[in-house]
Amino acid sequence: MNTIQEIQASIVEEFSVFSDWMDKYEYLIELGKSMPLIDEKEKTEEHLIKGCQSRVWLACKPENGRLRFSADSDAIITKGIISLLLKVYDNQTPADILAANEDFIEAIGLKENLSPTRANGLVSMIATIKAYAAAHKGLSVPDGTERQKKDIEPEIVAALRNVYDPEIPVNVYDLGLIYEIQADADGVVFVKMTLTAPNCPIADEVVAQVHEAVADVPGVKEVQVDLVFEPEWTTDRMSEEAKLELGML
């Protein structure tokens, strides 16, 4: 099985034969047509990627210690873009997905040839894939309490990615405001979080939104959100995707 790095290198080589971006777009479209599509019954709000101009559904399930992705989109170019990402990350381990960079995107010229809205969508797609990987880091953990945590945490992470900081247009998870998530076998979830500034005038509202988002996750019976300011939040806690979205890279 090829590594992520080997697949990325292969993609860069494949795109190098095209000198015109219209040809590259056509190749993306062909990739989209061959992508493993999400089951129609999974085209739900839960699987919609937030931040994309077009609708993009992405589902993930663990299989033998690896993550299997399926996706679909109602826009042909967007479908090609997500298919390109799945070509890289499908059937890889969570650890390898989290450790991988996305340099191949710039190497093939995709980043510079996308509209701002599609570029933002690309960032959101990558962030969602990485969020799934982060939530499944404990794939090899046996059953019991940790098994329950593994099963429910992807949904918690996905829910938190729908809560946005009031001052910065990035969700609280990718912004690095979520310090800790603990879930026990009884569906009790503890979230430790912070804010970008201790004197945030709507701190209570943000905490309430986090509480509500987690409480809405199926299987969650009780939620406790602890707001802390130590350690102090810094931009180092932001994901690479968040930094890219804000033009910090």
Q: Any idea how long the chain is?
A: 249
**Residue 217: partners with Cβ closer than 8 Å, 6 or more residues away:** 152, 155, 156, 159, 189
Integer Cα distance of 206 and 42 in angstroms: 29
Which regions of the chain does DSSP assign to beta strands (E)?
Answer: 56-63, 66-73, 178-183, 188-193, 222-227
Give me the catalytic one of 28, 35, 52, 59. 52
- Comparing CA positions, the residue from 136, 8, 155, 153 lying closest to residue 64 is 136
Active site residue 52: yes
Integer Cα distance of 7 and 180 in angstroms: 33
Residues designated catalytic: 52
